[in-house]
Amino acid sequence: MLTLATTTPGEPEIFASLQGEGASVGKPSTFVRLSRCNLACHWCDTAYTWRFTGDNRPHTDGLDFERGANQVTLEEAEVADRVAALTPERLVLTGGEPLLQGGALARMVAALKSLRPSMHVEIETNGTVAPHPRLDPLVHQFNVSPKLAHSGNPAELALLPERLAAYARDPRAYFKFVIAERSDLEEVLGLVQAHDMVPARVFLMPEGRDSATLRERSRWLGDLCAAHGFNFTDRLHIHLWGDTRGT
C-alpha cells in the first residue's frame, strides 16, 4: 500500500501538469504526491503532507491538518493504473518525502513499467533517505533538495554527509537549494565543496509561494547563479496556477 496526499478528502493527489522546478522545468509530467515527511521546513508549501493535528513542529502558517482528510491509502497497482491512464511520459514522485515508502514505490513503479515501459521516473527527495534497493534501478533522475539552516531543520537531521556524498556521486542526481536570503549562498558553497557536487548539476531556487516574492528574490538570485556557475530555477507552477494542490 502507498500513503498519498489528497487534493480533496478521499481523492489522491495524482495529476498531470508541467514540472515547475529544477532540471526538468516545463516538461509535461504526471505527479504522485506521497504523504509523510521526516523533516519539517518552516516554509513548506505542502505541510498538509506531514503537519497533522497534534504535530507541533513549527510552521510559518501555524496550521495543522486533519489526517483523515489529507491522507489516503491505495494499492500500488491502482496507483500504477491511474498514472498509466494519464498522457505524460514523465512521472515525478514527490511529497512529503517519497523515499520513506521506497518498498511500496518499487512495487508501484515495476507495475507501471509493465503498462508504460517508456515512462521516465523522477524522484524529489530531501536527500536524507537512501533509495530502496529495488526502487533505485528503476529511477532515471533524482531531484535532491537538501534543507539549509533557514528551513528550521537541525543539520544533524537534514544534512547527512554520507547521503549527500552518495547523491553527489550519482550522475542521475541534480541538487536544488531553496534560497531565501543572499547569505544562504555561503551554506550552499560549503556543501558543494564538502561533497564535491558538480556546479552544472546544482540549481538555486528562490523561496516563495507567490509570484511577487519569487520575482523579487529572482532579481538578485540570478546574479548569484551567474557569478558561481550554478543553474537558476524558478517555480513555474506558482506563476501559472498559484500555491494550490494538484498543480
- Would strands 141-144 and 120-125 be described as parallel, antiparallel, or unpaired? parallel
pLDDT along the chain (247 residues), means of 10: 97 98 97 98 97 93 95 98 98 98 98 98 98 98 98 98 98 98 98 98 97 97 97 97 95
Cβ neighbours of residue 149 closer than 8 Å, sequence gap 6 or more:
155, 187
Tell me, what amino acid is at 188?
Answer: V
Q: What is the CATH number of domain 2-241?
A: 3.20.20.70
Residue tagged 509561494 (cell numbers):
209
What is the predicted pLDDT for the residue at 37? 98
What is the predicted pLDDT for the residue at 122? 98
Tell me, what amino acid is at 140?
Answer: H
C-alpha cell recorded at residue 62: 501555524
C-alpha cell recorded at residue 58: 513549527
Q: 54: left (phi > 0), else alpha (psi -120 to 50), else beta?
A: left
What is the predicted pLDDT for the residue at 241? 96
What are the sequence ranges of the domains in the chain?
2-241
Question: CA 47 to CA 245: how far, in whole Å?
Answer: 11
Question: For residue 128, how many C-alpha atoms fall within 13 Å in the half-sphere facing its CB?
Answer: 19
Give the DSSP per-residue string, the chain: -EEEEEEETTEE-EEEEE--SGGGTT-EEEEEEBP--S---TT-TTGGGT-BTT-----TT---B-HHHHEEEE-HHHHHHHHHTSS-SEEEEESS-GGGGHHHHHHHHHHHHHH-TT-EEEEEE-S-SPPPTTTGGG-SEEEE----GGGT--HHHH--HHHHHHHHH-TTEEEEEEESSTTHHHHHHHHHHHTT--GGGEEEEE--SSHHHHHHHHHHHHHHHHHHTPEE---HHHHHH-S-TT-
What is the predicted pLDDT for the residue at 67? 97
What is the predicted pLDDT for the residue at 210? 96
pTM, whole model, 2 decimals?
Answer: 0.97
What is the predicted pLDDT for the residue at 4? 98
What is the predicted pLDDT for the residue at 47? 97
Burial 85-117 (b: 16+ CB within 10 A, else e): ebebebbbbbbbbbbbbbebbbbbbebbeeebe
